[in-house]
Structures are given as structure tokens and as C-alpha cells.
Structure 1
Amino acid sequence: MPHPKTAEALIKCAGPIESSLLPRLLHVTEAAAIAASYQMGRGDKNYADQVSVEAMRRMLNCLDMKGVIKIGEGERDEAPMLFIGEEVGTGVGDLEVDIAVDPLEGTNLAADGIPGAIAVMAMAEREGLFHGPDIYMDKIVVGPEVVKYEKTHPDEKIDLDAPVIRNLEIVAKALNRNIDELVVVILDRQRHKDKIKEIRETGARVNLISDGDLMPGIATAIRGSGIHMVLGAGGSGEAVLTAAAMKILGGKMLARLVLPTVANGGTPEEIEKEKAEKMPRLATMGITEENLNNVLDIEKLAPGKDIIFSATGVTPGILLNGVSLFGEGDARVHSITMGSSGVVKFTDTIYIHDKEKNPLRMA
């Protein structure tokens, strides 16, 4: 029987960004996660975020590339580093990349020692990631089985505007399950009160989370995670990062930009005030009141052909273990990395400064 050469074939499919930068990207998120882990449970989310940002930026500036932050920590006058538009990397070589970062996704989770905090980032060729504003995105995320089902049932497609029961019926058929066997993750927010009620009325189970719906979104594309759909409005940056991973994993995501005042049921006066404040900035990104409500799919959120993604656990989560600190500055971390070739790695890494004091041990 001939050898299938599976690994070789996938490795040869990797683009220049994946081939050159994905191994190093792992180091970037690991450094940020370890920095944040020393502040885990200390109650200071801002400082935890600060040290993770600093660590991530230091590592990014070691990479031979010409990088531009497209999803980052904010505008130049709000964030001292990893701000939108900042150039990172050594500037050496021909690789020009757009970057989405969240050095500490789930700052409250990390500060309070609650599961689900991660360090995460994605890269793609120029214009390969949606350059969105720092507002909300209302979204729905499902796995590749649903994509496969839609191809053979063109009249049954997940729709951001459809009733929850309609979307859950499609997911149930795609997974060969009953609706009451499905689990839907949604942020525990007042703005989702009606949506949560609607989900429960279908018979599906609701998994409420306080923060951090990025990894649950990715989990919909991984069998055995116990998560079948993610719904609701959250940060647009996290949505783009989710889309980058879901494009690699073959899942589906639909999203729509929404102003926080609109999502949270603000008064007409509050909505108009926010429009006046934010629409001029959105206009520079090509976003107007006419197209603000357009539905964005994965090809619009992550149009790149050479996408790489890395996430490292800070506190324990659905897919990743948290950082374990031991000895003098030594740490064990758990990460997921993936690239457009289709190669996905779960990596368990141990950093040891003094091998005599802290020899490796069997788990």
C-alpha cells in the first residue's frame, strides 16, 4: 500500500507567511500569556493587560516582517503600543502582513482568576483581515458540519436575522442531533436577555459566559468541545480573530457591526451622540450609515489566503489549559496554532531556566 504523504502535502501547501512566521507566532502568544499569568487573580485587569501588551510587542518586534496592526489596543492617542496602525517587526525581508491582536482576551477573567482568558493573534497578507472599528459585532458562529449541510440543502442556511429556532433546526440536522442536545454559548449581558429566552424556549441549552466568546466560537468547529453555536454581540476585534480561525477550520460565521448604544438599547439621544462621535472615524474605514448594517461573512472578515492564528491559555478554558508557574520564572503553557494549509497544532510548552533545580517531570 503506498504511503499517503499526508503531512508532506499539507506542509507544501503552506504559504510564505505560514512557513516563515507561524512557528514564531507561537512564541509571541506564549510570552504574552506568561506575562499575564503573573497577574492572575490579583484584581488589576489594567496592569495584567499592560504587561501582556508589552510582552507581545517585544516579541513581535523580533520577527523579520513588515507588520501593521489592523485590530489592536486602540487609537494612537489611547494606547501607547499595539495601537491600530502601528508598524511592528524588524522590517527585514519581503513579508508584509496585517495583524489582529488581543494580548489578553478576558482581562476581567485573568484579574479575577476565572477560566477563559487567553493571549491571541492572527496574521495575513495585506488586506487579508477586516479593518474594523472598535465597536460591537453581532454574530453567529457554527462549525464545518453545518457548512457541509448547507451545500446539500441550499434552501436551509444559517441566517443572522432568522429566528433562533430556525438556525438551531439547521444545526441539529447537520449534527444529527435533537435541538435539546445543542449547547449555545452567549455572553451574559442585559442586551441578550431576549435572545437567551428565545434559545431556552427552543429546548436548547444555554452556556452563559461573563467574558471571552472567541474560543467558544472556535470550539464550534472542534468535535467533542460540547459547543454547537455561539450567538450575540461582542467586540469587533474578537469577531475578526474568530473569523480568521474559523476560515482555517472550515466553519461559518456571519456578523454585523453595531454601535454599543444600539446593542444595549440606548435612547435615541444616546444613539445619535455616539453616531456623531464615531461615524467620522468609521467613514475613514469605508463604513457609513448606509452599509453599517451589512452582513459580513468569513470571506469579508478574513479574506486572506495565507492566514495564521495562535492562542495561548492564561487561565484554564474550553480548549486550552492555563499557564502553570513553577520554580524561578519557569512556566508551562498550552496553545493552539493553525494556518491556511490546514495544519492545526495543540502545543504543550515548558520554559525552564535552571534545569538542575527544575528537571522535567512526567505529567
Structure 2
Amino acid sequence: MDTNYGMEIVRATEIAALTAARLQGLGDHAGILNETRQAIAKTLNRLAIEGCLVNDRFVDRQGIFQLPAAIGRGGQKADLMAVALEAYHSAADGRNNSTSFAVIAKEGSIQSVPNLNMYKLVVGPEAGQVIDINQPPIVNVKRVARALKKYTESVTVLILNQTRHQQLINEVRSCGARIKLIDEGEISGCLAAITGERADIYMGYGFAPEGALVAAAISCLGGYFEGKIFYENDRDRAQAEAHGISDLDKIFRVEDLVRSKEVAIAATGVTDSEFLEGVRFTSNGAITSSFIARGETRTYRKLETRHFFDYKPVY
């Protein structure tokens, strides 16, 4: 892309995070999600692009504010992904691991995926291509341990705390690896594994659209990803075909989901997460923690931004 849009899209994630933080802990799940989606849409629409929104998990969801399919005020054509408020239940309830994300990429480079379950394995660049989604979890944990030159007992595996993961959790525990469970926020969990700051490997079920966003992050930060979509019936299989997916046994890797290095990702923490600090309100504004990464240069920035509402109110 002709322009580095990272600093542009981070403004959208900051506004979304500030909007969500104002409603944090009030218990209104739909309200916090809808207001945050409105905020990120309004800000992204200011971009000088002709953007096409892809992989919105809430598209056509009744009662949820719909992000526009076309975003921007005209200019260079681009693909966009926006997760206005990951882990919105947690944000509404006042719990951790809620974040706002946005991705911009070269037109036509992001694979459209159905809103179905995807099993994911994610590791950082040091682990390399040692993981294999077709192998048992214990095999993958031990391979990552060897690649990182760690004892298996020193490897941290991040898993969503869900009933369907109980067998996975038991298997990982049986080999002695450390487990970190999170209630929501799989993108933040994957980013923690990519950077190696709070986890070494992420594994488990989540959503396919989130997998595409994680692939965009890896395009910018490095790392390795494998994902497999699960189809339970003919309707699911028809959804795959509608998204141009003919191989229903396909193992998706980064290059399958993001087919260009012309990509940038931004994120801003709402509540403290595995990857970013949450919004902190001050007497006259707020402090946000964000990151921006760009695929073409592998540039990676972490930002602490101080917002002064007395000068230009956000709300």
C-alpha cells in the first residue's frame, strides 16, 4: 500500500477502547458491544480509502449494530477487518482480556471465512514450523519445548476455559506443561503466544474470523499458525463454499488467510489482557495502551497515549 495506515487505524481502536471503557462493568453486554462498534465504524469511515469489510463475526446478527460493508471516504482500495470489542462479555462484566482490533490490507488479500468454529495452534517465530495440527497436543507441546530449549514443565500453554476443552486441558496437564486459562479473548491469547511474553503456545477452538485476524498479526510480527474449520452439517459446508472454500479438510496457514505482506494491524486494550494494559481514566481524560505492526517492514510499536477530554472530548 502507498501509505502506512497503522497510525490511522490505531485511532479507531483507541476511540473504540475509550467508548467501551466508559461502559465497563455496567453489565450491559449488547449495549457495550453496539456502542463500541458504532465508534470504530465512525472513525474508520474517516480514512481516505475505499475499504471492503471482511470477516465480521456479527454480520446479520439481530440486535447488533452492523458495520458498513464499504468503509472510508474514497481513495486507495483495501481490505479491512475490525473486532471493535473482543471479549465484550468480560468488558461488560468488568473482567479482564478485552481489546479492540483493526486490520488493513491490500485489496483482495484477506481470505473470507465462514463464521464457524476453528481449531487453532499458534506459536512465536522461535518455535518455527514445528507444530502440526494433526498431531496430539502432547506432541506439539514437546516439539515447542525442544524448539525453545525449555523443559516441558516450563512451557506455558494458553487455552480458553471452556467445557469442550476439558479433554485438551487434561492431555496437556498429563505431560507436565503449565496451563493458563482465559475465559474470553482468543486473539489476545494468540498474540501472547506469538510474542512469547506470557505464553509459549495457544491451542484450542475459537472462531474462524478471529483466525484470519491472528494470521494478519503473524504477517506483521512473525510466528506460525495452523487452523482447521469444523463443519457439522450441510449448512456449514454450504457456508464454506459461499466463501470460496472447496477443500473442507484444508489446514489454514498464514499465507492462506492473508496473501500479502501489505498489511497493518492495530490494537488498544480495554481491560488488562494477556497482551495490553486496559484504559486508565484520569481526572481530565484517560491513558490508553496500544500497539501497531506493519507487515512490509515488520515494524512494531507500542504506544501509551494520553487523552485530554477537556480539549477535544471523545464522547
Partner of 2:2: 16
3-state secondary structure, aligned to 1:327: coil
Deviation at 1:293, TM superposition (A): 2.3
Partner of 1:187: 160
Instruction: Work out which of the residue numbers 92, 110, 114 in structure 2 matches 1:111.
Output: 92
User: Root-mean-square deviation (CA), in Å?
Assistant: 1.6
Task: Specify every segment of 5 or more residues in structure 2 that has no aligned partner in the other structure, as ranges.
Answer: none
Deviation at 1:354, TM superposition (A): 2.7
Where in structure 2 are the equivalents of 1:1-363 lying within 5 Å?
15-17=1-3, 19=4, 21-76=5-60, 78=62, 79-82=64-67, 86-91=69-74, 93=75, 95-147=76-128, 150=129, 157-223=130-196, 225-259=197-231, 271-272=232-233, 275-276=234-235, 278-288=236-246, 291-327=247-283, 330-340=285-295, 341-354=297-310
Partner of 1:9: none
Q: Check whether the contact 1:128–1:304 (CA below 8 A) recurs between aligned residues.
A: yes
Alpha-carbon spacing, 1:286–1:39, altered in 2? closer, same or farther (3 Å) = same
**Structure 1 counterpart of 2:265, one-letter code:** F
Task: Specify every segment of 5 or more residues in structure 1 that has no aligned partner in the other structure, as ranges.
Answer: 1-14, 151-156, 260-270, 356-363
**Structure 2 counterpart of 1:16, one-letter code:** D
Partner of 1:10: none
Distance 1:136 1:101 in 2: 19
Q: Check whether the contact 1:67–1:99 (CA below 8 A) recurs between aligned residues.
A: yes
Query: Could you say which structure has the larger radius of gyration?
Result: 1
Distance 1:47 1:214 in 2: 22
3-state secondary structure, aligned to 1:134: coil
Distance 1:353 1:203 in 2: 49
Q: Check whether the contact 2:57–2:209 (CA below 8 A) recurs between aligned residues.
A: no
**Structure 1 counterpart of 2:140, one-letter code:** N
Deviation at 1:287, TM superposition (A): 2.7
Deviation at 1:76, TM superposition (A): 4.3
Post-superposition CA distance 1:281-327 (Å, at most 9, x none): 33221234xx2221011100111221100010000112211111233
Q: Check whether the contact 1:63–1:90 (CA below 8 A) recurs between aligned residues.
A: yes
Distance 2:225 2:78 in 1: 23
**Structure 2 counterpart of 1:338, one-letter code:** A
Distance 1:29 1:287 in 2: 30
3-state secondary structure, aligned to 1:214: helix
Q: TM-score scaled to structure 1, two decimals?
A: 0.81
Alpha-carbon spacing, 1:77–1:188, altered in 2? closer, same or farther (3 Å) = closer
Across the two proteins, how many residue pairs are aligned to each other?
309
3-state secondary structure, aligned to 1:220: helix
Q: Check whether the contact 1:16–1:306 (CA below 8 A) recurs between aligned residues.
A: no
Deviation at 1:60, TM superposition (A): 0.7
Q: TM-score scaled to structure 2, two decimals?
A: 0.93
